[in-house]
Amino acid sequence: MAQVSIAVNGKVRRADVEPRLLLVHFLREQLRLTGTHVGCDTSQCGACTVLIDGRSAKSCTLFAVQADGSEITTIEGLARDGELHPLQQGFWEEHGLQCGYCTPGMIMAAVTLLNDTPKPTEQQIREGIAGNFCRCTGYQHIVNAIQHAAGKR
């Protein structure tokens, strides 16, 4: 066992973990933050995307011990004081989801995109979310939701 100390959504969490425990399983199973999804087990789909020290990353590609000392933000940590994050609001208003399984990962990837490129073009948005798969939509509503959020910032 290894001890980790990780700030998750602004709260320091300490735990003993198996060295091989993936970060996504630490978040879901030990911290009960189930908004971060496991979609493919191969790091291809992006459903497990979270922010690690402010940058989007697939939490199925990291062990929890690798995140020791880091600051993690999950989809549950985006809303502030009861107000949805602009991306969450954009997905709501622009119907950027269908089944919703990919939505948390899409939103977390889009956070980094908008931090890097506050007014992205449609092509930049499509490139920015290229590591996240949606099996339900044609992506246009997702792009619209991200554009909506960019306009609100």
Domains, the chain, with CATH or none: 2-77 (3.10.20.30), 86-152 (1.10.150.120)
- C-alpha to C-alpha distances, 38 to 24, 52, 82, 129, nearest whole angstrom: 7, 17, 26, 17
pTM of the full structure: 0.94
pLDDT tens sequence across 7-66: 999 999 999 999 999 999 999 999 999 999 998 878 899 999 999 999 999 999 999 999
Is it the case that residue 106 has pLDDT exceeding 90?
yes
pLDDT tens sequence across 61-93: 999 999 999 999 999 999 999 999 999 999 999
Hey, which residues does 107 pair with through a beta bridge?
none
